[in-house]
Amino acid sequence: MGEFIKMTSTLQSLQKYLDKIKKEDGKINAFLQLNPNALQEAKAIDGKRQKGKLAGKIIAVKSNINVKGLNASCASKTLENYKATYDAYAIQKIKDEDGLIIGMTNMDEFASGSSGETSAFGPTRNPRNPSLIPGGSSSGSAAAVSADFCDMALGSETGGSVRNPASHCGVIGIKPSYGSVSRYGLIDLSMSLDQIGVFAKNIPDAGLLLDVIREKSEKDGIMERTEKINFNEIEKVPKNLTIGILDFPVGDESIENLIELKTNEAVAKYGWKTKKIKLSILDLAVETYYPLVYVEFFSGTRRFDGRRYGKKIEDSAGPEALRRILGGSEISKAEYHGRYYDKALKIKKLVEKEFENIFKSIDCLISPTVPKLPHKIGTKISVEEMYHYDALTIPANLAGNCAVSIPAGEIQGIPVGMQIICDKFQEQKMLQIARCFEKI
Ligand code: GLN
């Protein structure tokens, strides 16, 4: 009997989620496309004798990751009709382990945004409060997990695009260390920063998906380290930890208090020590990030010239993507003076150094994930305000460290995330610490 239940579980689970999507996604707009072959694929998985680690898990994928035969539109008119011709490496790994891809999710156009509002196909709404933004740019993936439309999801991170919407939607979001997940098949925003990341409803599931996609790929020269996660250890409380607490006035006292409360509870329960940490580069992070992104996005999008993928990006993309293209081309012209991109690269190195130093005396660094609560969909906010949603997430991208956002509680019914950053390639330790917080 037990065997029988297992045999039908992928299909049953898929059906349950498809019903829910049909009823509720009209309001949320988390998906841009459902996988037309999902039912067949679910049956094929259920019919296998030997099943992989992800058998029974239903996974949504951000629309900037190539899944063969599905539409990797990047939520842009530019790639509206582009069908992926191959699987990204992370997708190959998921399929090898019998994960089922339910569909492609909505996002900020070309992953450029922090609110989910720059999609060419309408904004995604926050399932926890549909009048609010879900965060971005992986808006649909976070919303799909939060709305219970799937078990897990893939997103991508350049400056916070997994952690930010995870925080606003009340789910787990992991940004892996740069060089630990293959970027093969991820459509770039900024290739020196981009990493595929994961969303899930709990740490063991998030760790499982991360572990599957963190395989070394010969197709990607950036791969550095990909140790396997030890799942027995995940449940163990790490001893003698020193928890770094970011000493930085976020400006929203209710968010600061909530994170402090949660941290104090954990520290008291597990007998950890704490240390206040000041980051000298914090004020520079956003200003360093954007020149890098503008220039790399400009350069990466030159292939969307209308010859191969249909539309020319300049004729078809929305204002935020165009701002970056225009900005990137201007910066590139001025670059022979070494003014912007070169300088930003130098500061990026300093951020790396500072992180290297602080992690000599602490095991993790804790802060709010996002410094403010999400705005109402459609509210006019300035470009600067939008860019500052990521003020606390960008440093880990610049340094290349791993980081996770976990739900810390709610303020006026709105989920608030706590960010835990660890040293490079310390995903195992990070998951253990996050699991301790999750259990409180
Ligand atoms: N919000 C940031 C941006 O617009 C981060 C995007 C991302 O991580 N993909 O660039």
Q: Is the pLDDT of residue 307 over 70?
A: yes
- How far apart are the C-alpha atoms of 147 and 166, rounded to whole Å? 12
pLDDT of the residue at 221: 80
**pLDDT value at 326 more than 90:** yes
Q: What burial class does residue 236 get, using C-beta atoms within 10 Å of its C-beta: 0-12 exposed, 13-18 middle, 19+ buried?
A: exposed
Give yes or no: 137 in active site: yes
Q: Which atom of ligand 1 is nearest to the CA of 162?
A: 8
> Does 170 have pLDDT greater than 50?
yes
Q: For 268-304, how does the pLDDT look when each residue is reduced to its tens digit (9 = 90+)? A: 999 999 999 999 999 999 999 999 999 999 999 999 9
Report the alpha-carbon distance of residue 397 to residue 30 in Å, rounded.
25
Q: How far apart are CA 91 and CA 209, in angstroms?
A: 11
Which residue, 44, 42, 88, 38, is CA-closest to 63?
88
Question: Is pLDDT of 431 > 80?
Answer: yes
HEC string of the chain equals CHHHHHHCHHHHHHHHHHHHHHHHHHHHCCEEEECCCHHHHHHHHHCCCCCCCCCCCEEEEECCECCCCCECCCCCHHHCCCECCCCCHHHHHHHHCCCEEEEEECCCHHHCCCCCCCCCCCCCCCCCCCCECCCCCCHHHHHHHHCCCCCEEEEEECCCCCHHHHHHHCCEEEECCCCCCCCCCECCCCCCCCEEEEEECCHHHHHHHHHHHCCCCCCCCCCCCCCCCCHHHHCCCCCCCEEEEECCCCCCHHHHHHHHHHHHHHHHHHCCEEEEECCCCHHHHHHHHHHHHHHHHHHHHHHCECCCCCCEHHHHCCHHHHHHHHHHHHHHHHHHHCCCHHHHHHHHHHHHHHHHHHCCCCCEEEEECCCCCCCECCCCCCHHHHHHCCCCCHHHHHHCCEEEEEEEEEECCEEEEEEEEECCCCHHHHHHHHHHHHCC
Integer angstrom CA distances of residue 220 from 90, 117, 217, 336: 12, 31, 6, 29
For residue 1, pLDDT over 50 is answered with no
Structural contact between residues 417 and 405, judged by C-beta atoms closer than 8 angstroms: yes
Distance 271 CA to ligand 1 centre (A): 36
What pLDDT digit, counting tens, does each position of 82-116 carry?
A: 999 999 999 999 999 999 999 999 999 999 999 99
The domains found in the chain, sorted by start residue, are 2-231 (3.90.1300.10), 237-285+341-439 (3.90.1300.10)
Ligand 1 first shell, C-beta below 6 A: 111-114, 137, 156-161, 189, 293, 390
- Report the pLDDT averaged over residues 325-329: 96
**Which listed residue (13, 57, 62, 138) is catalytic?**
62
Distance 285 CA to ligand 1 centre (A): 13
Sheet with 364-368, side-by-side order of all strands: 31-34, 100-105, 58-62, 152-157, 195-200, 172-175, 402-411, 414-422, 364-368, 242-246, 273-277
Interval 211-260: pLDDT, tens? 999 988 888 888 887 789 999 999 999 999 999 999 998 999 999 999 99
Which numbered atom of ligand 1 lies nearest the CA of 390? 1
Q: Is 76 a catalytic residue?
A: no
- In the set 139, 161, 190, 367, the catalytic residue is 161
Residue 8: pLDDT band by 50, 70, 90 thresholds? low
CA dihedral over 105, 169, 285, 362, signed as positive or negative: negative
> CA nearest 162: which of 14, 43, 61, 85?
61
Q: Which of 73, 112, 114, 137 is catalytic?
A: 137
More confident residue, 42 or 339: 42
> Could you tell me the two tokens for 143?
């919303």
Work out which ligand 1 atom sits closest to the CA atom of 189. 9
Ligand 1 atom nearest to CA at 113: 4
Mutate to test the pocket of ligand 1, among 115, 133, 161 (most ligand atoms within 8 A of CB): 161
User: Mean pLDDT over all residues of the chain?
Assistant: 95
* First CA to last CA distance, the chain: 35
Between the CA of 115 and the centroid of ligand 1 the distance, in Å, is 10
State yes or no: pLDDT of 4 exceeds 80: no
d(CA 285, CA 161): 15
Substitution candidate for ligand 1 out of 106, 112, 199, 382 with most atoms within 8 A of CB: 112
Q: Which of 289, 390, 393 to probe ligand 1 with, by most ligand atoms within 8 A of CB?
A: 390
Q: Is 112 a catalytic residue?
A: no
- Is residue 3 predicted with pLDDT exceeding 80? no
Neighbour count for residue 81 (Cβ, 10 Å): 11
